[in-house]
Chains A and B, each alone.
Chain A
Amino acid sequence: MTAERILVAKVGLDGHDRGVKVVARILRDAGFEVIYTGLFQTPETVAAAAVDEDADAIGLSMLSGAHMTLAPLVVEAVRARGADIPVIVGGTVPDHDLEELHEAGIAAVLTPGATADHIVAEVRRVLDSTSVT
């Protein structure tokens, strides 16, 4: 069995890349194959990369407050390509935004303080629930 592929991405103008790099290493250590897009991606480039790379999930790292605008656009861009790749958001997301993000089709949100074990468990849960449906 080959490792599941996770595409981690920075979308928009936010240059804070500490979180995405740490999470990428955590996931790699947990046995996933991890692809990092680099900075300043658009919803379109992320969706295209996820489809091209045959990713099993997309992880968006967002610390600028733009998650409410950009994360739903990534979901739309993935669906517009006819793909069903779950999108997970990690970063500074206040509680009052969680419901709207879930309604927009975000599969999981990881907020500040999430431990490595919790991150891996959430990704696993999202992958398992996607493969069932």
Chain B
Amino acid sequence: MGSEQPTPRQIWEAEFGASPIRDADYTTLSGIPLDPVYGPDDGGFPGQYPYTRGPYSSMYRSKLWTMRMFAGFGTAEDTNWRFKEIIRAGGTGLSTAFDMPTLLGLDSDDAMALGEVGRCGVAVDSLRDMEDLYAGIDLSTVTTSMTINSPAAPILAMFIAQAERAGVPRAKLGGTLQNDILKEYQAQKEFVFPPRQSMRLVRDSIAFTAAEMPRWHSVSISGYHIREAGSTAVEELAFTLANGFAYVELAMQAGLPVDTFAPRLSFFFNAHIDFFEEIAKYRAARRIWARWMKERYGAQDPRSMQCRFHTQTAGVSLTAQQPELNIARTAIEALAGVLGGTQSLHTNSMDEALALPTEKAARIALRTQQIIAHETNVAHVSDPLGGSWFVEELTDEVERQAEEIFAHLDALGDGSMLEGAIRGIEENWFQGRISDSAYELERRMNSGRRITVGVNAFTEGNEEDQIPLLRITNEDEQRQRKRLAAVREDRNDDAVAAVLRRLGDEAADPEVNLMPTLIDAAEAYATLGEIMSTMGTVFGRHVEVPTI
């Protein structure tokens, strides 16, 4: 060869050399120096297309994953207190869990909210709750994730309104809105409006954040709930990426060039107990996303092709029996996430098969991540399992099976992955696959072919004293209703009525982006229930046909 083409290693070396590196001792316990990555000079490297080995050239040597612990319970004041605990304990990002009424866009004084207020997360009825939720937390430095979907757009509007009142302009806000409505119909089932109407709100929030919030992740495309609902690892991967393709097509149809929004899409995967299959899943996810974004959607910005993801350990793998064993399960699952190159991680607490975590259980879960990060040295070397015959072949097989699912959805949508995803929901295809997989796993458990320690084997010790559990009383519900009553008392009802009228008019015009008016509604202290029911009169409601 006459011209000197740099090898992949030389390209990687140049990029790595230009990256900031954390100060740490990059040797083994015995003093053997560790390279940042291993492999042949002409092989794949992290930070290089198709990113199988990681989205960035220096990975954890530049920045450890974000230890992002999901929290939320009771009133906004209660959760604000827990957030501050997490930051004091060394957590590096916040993740907000909302209660079920909030997830469904209902106010805490709605009849359907009875018994659910503040139970599975924090209750947010209005801007007042949002203000108390993040009081005293510097949102220009701490990134925030919000797990909300059907009412994602109005909750984002409240978040923007409170941050700007606290002096942080929207352009400086860093964080993630889950905003992944497709998986709600497929798995999580906290839906409100019908799929096509909901997708309009997703479009509006993608377009708004692409224009005004450069540090914001507009959608966290989530496999976590698909897996928790019972899918296999391959289904989790394939359904999630297919949903991602659907959002890409949605935004492109709205006229947004792919590279203006795709860099701000992120993913959220499960870390289940099958260690190597999970690692293969993460590696395949990066490779598939890169190829599809480049080849099918014409992305040119490498950031549009880099699959970055959050990971949470598997709630369904936890057992109520001998709950301390869940610490071991969670550690193994978290390790899979780290070896798979996750960008952030939530570790479940040992008591979560039965309740929201106690403070101590949540601290142990965070400490588990800190052990992996600081004691084991596993973060020193990127993609340490790359080149393993087993892991490489499993990665290829997971990818191959995912492509079969994409081909099915592409055909279902007559060449549109967006249409395929929506029709798959309308025809109950995703829901049926997930139910079938859940039942198949249950049958293998019940036959004894799969062992769960403490459940169908090794049960000695199950009768010992239980660990203490967090109790949430109905007092929280009462307190939240009083808070909401005070908001309704204090605000200007005429202003609320006017902004809701405007919202209803704009909702009826599919060309309008609803985000600016949603921010106005938040600032007028319209409640989430009022905002959602205003849109609901235009959009209608989704009802799932019950199937076993």
Task: List A residues at the B interface (Cβ < 8 Å).
Answer: 12-18, 21-22, 24-26, 28, 34, 36-40, 42, 64-66, 68-70, 92-96, 111-113, 115-117
A34 touches B548 (CB 8 A): yes
Partner of A70, one of B115, B189, B454: B115
In the complex, B321 has a CB within 8 A of chain A: yes
Of listed A14, A96, A113, residue having the most chain B CB within 10 A: A113
Task: List B residues at the A interface (Cβ < 8 Å).
Answer: 100-101, 103-104, 106, 112-116, 119-120, 184, 188-191, 228-230, 316, 319-321, 353-356, 434-435, 438-439, 442-443, 445-446, 452, 454-456, 466, 469, 471-472, 474, 544-548
Partner of A17, one of B229, B354, B356: B229
Partner of B113, one of A13, A17, A26, A95: A13
A18 touches B545 (CB 8 A): no
Contacts of B354 in A (CB 8 A): 92-94, 111-112
Contacts of B114 in A (CB 8 A): 12, 66, 69-70
B119 touches A18 (CB 8 A): no
A18 touches B544 (CB 8 A): no
A94 touches B469 (CB 8 A): yes
Nearest chain A CB to B102 CB, angstrom units: 10
Bound-state CA distance A111–B321 (Å) is 10
Nearest chain A CB to B357 CB, angstrom units: 13
Contacts of A69 in B (CB 8 A): 114-116, 474
B119 touches A66 (CB 8 A): yes
A13 touches B229 (CB 8 A): no
Closest to B356 in A: A65
Besides A12-B112, A15-B189, A65-B355, 4 other CB < 8 A contacts? A18-B229, A39-B189, A69-B115, A111-B320
Nearest chain B CB to A109 CB, angstrom units: 12
Could you list 13 examples of A-B contacts with CB < 8 Å? Answer: A13-B190, A14-B116, A15-B188, A15-B190, A18-B435, A18-B438, A28-B548, A36-B546, A36-B548, A65-B356, A69-B116, A92-B354, A115-B446
Nearest chain A CB to B141 CB, angstrom units: 33
Contacts of A14 in B (CB 8 A): 100, 116, 120
Bound-state CA distance A28–B443 (Å) is 13
B228 touches A25 (CB 8 A): no
Nearest 10 CB-CB pairings of A with B: A69-B115, A15-B189, A38-B546, A66-B115, A13-B100, A112-B320, A65-B119, A116-B446, A24-B548, A113-B455
A116 touches B442 (CB 8 A): yes
A21 touches B100 (CB 8 A): no
Nearest chain A CB to B462 CB, angstrom units: 9
Nearest chain B CB to A45 CB, angstrom units: 11
Nearest chain A CB to B222 CB, angstrom units: 14
Nearest chain B CB to A95 CB, angstrom units: 6
Bound-state CA distance A93–B320 (Å) is 10
Bound-state CA distance A93–B49 (Å) is 48
Bound-state CA distance A37–B474 (Å) is 27
Contacts of B446 in A (CB 8 A): 115-117
Partner of B100, one of A12, A93, A94: A12
Bound-state CA distance A38–B542 (Å) is 13
Closest to B184 in A: A15
A22 touches B439 (CB 8 A): yes
Partner of B115, one of A12, A28, A40, A93: A12
Of listed A15, A40, A94, A115, residue having the most chain B CB within 10 A: A15
Contacts of A70 in B (CB 8 A): 114-115
Closest to B471 in A: A96
User: Contacts A18-B438, A25-B439, A69-B114 known; A37 to B546 CB distance under 8 Å?
Assistant: yes
B101 touches A13 (CB 8 A): yes
Contacts of A16 in B (CB 8 A): 189, 229
A21 touches B439 (CB 8 A): yes
B228 touches A68 (CB 8 A): no
User: Contacts A12-B115, A65-B355 known; A17 to B189 CB distance under 8 Å?
Assistant: yes
Contacts of B191 in A (CB 8 A): 15
Bound-state CA distance A123–B104 (Å) is 32
Partner of A64, one of B116, B438, B454: B116
Bound-state CA distance A92–B445 (Å) is 19
Nearest chain B CB to A81 CB, angstrom units: 20
User: Contacts A38-B546, A42-B112, A113-B455 known; A95 to B466 CB distance under 8 Å?
Assistant: yes
Bound-state CA distance A69–B119 (Å) is 11
Contacts of A113 in B (CB 8 A): 319-321, 353, 452, 454-455
Of listed A21, A25, A42, A116, residue having the most chain B CB within 10 A: A21
Bound-state CA distance A43–B355 (Å) is 23
Partner of A65, one of B320, B353, B445, B472: B472
Contacts of A117 in B (CB 8 A): 446
A13 touches B548 (CB 8 A): no
Closest to B114 in A: A69
A64 touches B119 (CB 8 A): yes
Nearest chain A CB to B464 CB, angstrom units: 12
A92 touches B353 (CB 8 A): yes
Bound-state CA distance A113–B119 (Å) is 22
Nearest chain B CB to A60 CB, angstrom units: 12
User: Contacts A18-B228, A92-B353 known; A13 to B116 CB distance under 8 Å?
Assistant: yes
B116 touches A12 (CB 8 A): yes
Partner of A39, one of B113, B229, B356, B544: B544
Contacts of B547 in A (CB 8 A): 36
Nearest chain B CB to A91 CB, angstrom units: 10
Nearest chain A CB to B282 CB, angstrom units: 23
Partner of B469, one of A12, A25, A96, A111: A96
B230 touches A39 (CB 8 A): no
Bound-state CA distance A93–B471 (Å) is 12
User: Contacts A13-B113, A112-B354 known; A38 to B545 CB distance under 8 Å?
Assistant: yes
Bound-state CA distance A17–B191 (Å) is 13
A22 touches B474 (CB 8 A): no
User: Contacts A13-B116, A64-B120, A65-B356 known; A21 to B438 CB distance under 8 Å?
Assistant: yes
Bound-state CA distance A94–B472 (Å) is 12
Closest to B112 in A: A13
